[in-house]
């Protein structure tokens, strides 16, 4: 992914190292018991299983702190006007991490922490997260669903892990789920975004938009079967940039979620970041 971005030579792209986050900020979303459990010291050869999909090694805690830290640091940079927007090339992903439970490759919910950090630090009233990972972000929905000043929208394959994300799950009117059948492809994705997600986002009128940018709906990805194309990620990003520019001064921070075919991931990230930088999508 990083090699792809370097080779693409996107104008204005400024790489930065991800800082660690103060663990206390994680408690904006997660109880201290979960934070302490994830960050408990481990031996160099130790493994700690979180669930059947998720295992930690000695370096996982630092990676998780830097993943959440990258999102908060990017928010700082956007709010200061140092950058127009940002993409956080981080792992582990975050959108499956519920307030009280790490799961599904995710330790802390990076975008949810970022949303509440932005609200607490900068007094932003309304924060939106748009998620186009192939899996539903159950953790982000769980963190947001009872707070009308937070908005969560997701397109995702259905049925699929983690089993949440039905269209009828609407929170307090702030949750917008568009489940898509396997094999739906580009046309169904673009229709779901154009007819449902983007109008709901515009109606919410956010002060900042965060993206859960998962690229595992790509046709070449082995984990699922929505059959999106690389160009779809450039297209949807351009639509979201347009809305951000119109509603919230362009304030947008994107964080990597899924994506497991390395070439498809690299190509999709290049399309995504290119659109964030203002390139016309194919």
What CATH code is carried by the domain that includes residue 186? Answer: 3.40.800.20
- 280 pLDDT band (50/70/90 cuts)? confident
The pLDDT of 71-86, averaged and rounded, is 98
14 pLDDT more than 80: yes
Residue 59: count other Cβ atoms within 10 Å of its Cβ.
10
> Residue 62: inside a domain, yes or no?
yes
Q: Are 24 and 36 in contact (CB under 8 A)?
A: no
> Residue 259: inside a domain, yes or no?
yes
Count: domains in the chain: 1
Torsion of CA 156, 161, 166, 170, to 10 degrees: -90
Active site residues: 96
Span 52-67, pLDDT tens digits: 999 999 999 999 999 9
Give the contacts of 150 (CB within 8 A, at least 6 positions apart). 115, 126, 127, 128, 129, 143, 144, 174
> Residue 119: inside a domain, yes or no?
yes
The pLDDT of 17-45, averaged and rounded, is 97
> Residue 282: inside a domain, yes or no?
no
What average pLDDT does the chain have?
97
The pLDDT of 67-96, averaged and rounded, is 98
Q: What percent of the chain has pLDDT over 90?
A: 99
The pLDDT of 161-186, averaged and rounded, is 98
Span 148-161, pLDDT tens digits: 999 999 999 999 99
> Residue 281: inside a domain, yes or no?
no
Q: Are 181 and 173 in contact (CB under 8 A)?
A: no
Query: Could you report how far apart the first and last alpha carbons of the chain are, in Å?
Result: 19
269 pLDDT more than 70: yes
- The pLDDT of residue 48 is 95
Residue 100's domain comprises 2-276
CA-CA distance, 8 to 236, in Å (whole number)?
Answer: 19
- The pLDDT of residue 135 is 98
| Global confidence as pTM | 0.98
Give me the numbers of helices (H) and strands (E) for the chain, helices first please: 10, 8
> Residue 191: inside a domain, yes or no?
yes
> Residue 211: inside a domain, yes or no?
yes
> Residue 48: inside a domain, yes or no?
yes
Q: Are 256 and 88 in contact (CB under 8 A)?
A: yes
- The pLDDT of residue 231 is 97
Residue with structure tokens 């792809």?
A: 4
- The pLDDT of residue 282 is 63
281 pLDDT more than 90: no
């Amino acid at each position: 992914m990083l090699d792809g971005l370097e080779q693409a030579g996107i104008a204005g792209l400024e790489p930065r190292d991800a800082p660690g986050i103060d663990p206390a900020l994680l408690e904006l979303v997660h109880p201290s018991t979960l934070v302490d459990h994830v960050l408990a010291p481990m031996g160099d050869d130790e493994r700690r299983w979180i669930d059947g999909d998720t295992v930690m090694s000695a370096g996982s805690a630092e990676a998780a702190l830097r993943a959440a830290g990258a999102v908060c640091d990017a928010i700082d940079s956007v709010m200061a006007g140092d950058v127009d927007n940002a993409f956080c090339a981080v792992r582990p992903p975050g959108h499956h991490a519920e307030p009280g439970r790490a799961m599904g490759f995710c330790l802390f919910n990076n975008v949810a922490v970022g949303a509440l950090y932005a609200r607490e630090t900068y007094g932003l009233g309304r924060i939106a997260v748009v998620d186009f990972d192939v899996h539903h972000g159950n953790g982000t929905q769980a963190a947001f669903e009872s707070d009308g000043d937070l908005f969560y929208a997701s397109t995702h394959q259905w049925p699929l892990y983690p089993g949440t994300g039905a269209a009828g799950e609407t929170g307090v009117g702030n949750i917008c789920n568009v489940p898509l059948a396997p094999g739906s492809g580009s046309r169904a994705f673009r229709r779901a975004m154009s007819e449902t997600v983007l109008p709901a986002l515009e109606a919410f009128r956010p002060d900042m938009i965060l993206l859960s940018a998962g690229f595992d709906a790509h046709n070449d990805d082995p984990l699922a079967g929505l059959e999106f194309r690389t160009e779809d990620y450039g297209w949807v990003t351009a639509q979201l940039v347009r809305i951000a520019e119109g509603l919230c001064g362009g304030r947008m921070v994107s964080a990597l979620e899924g994506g497991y075919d390395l070439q498809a991931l690299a190509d999709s990230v290049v399309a995504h970041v290119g659109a964030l930088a203002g390139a016309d999508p194919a």
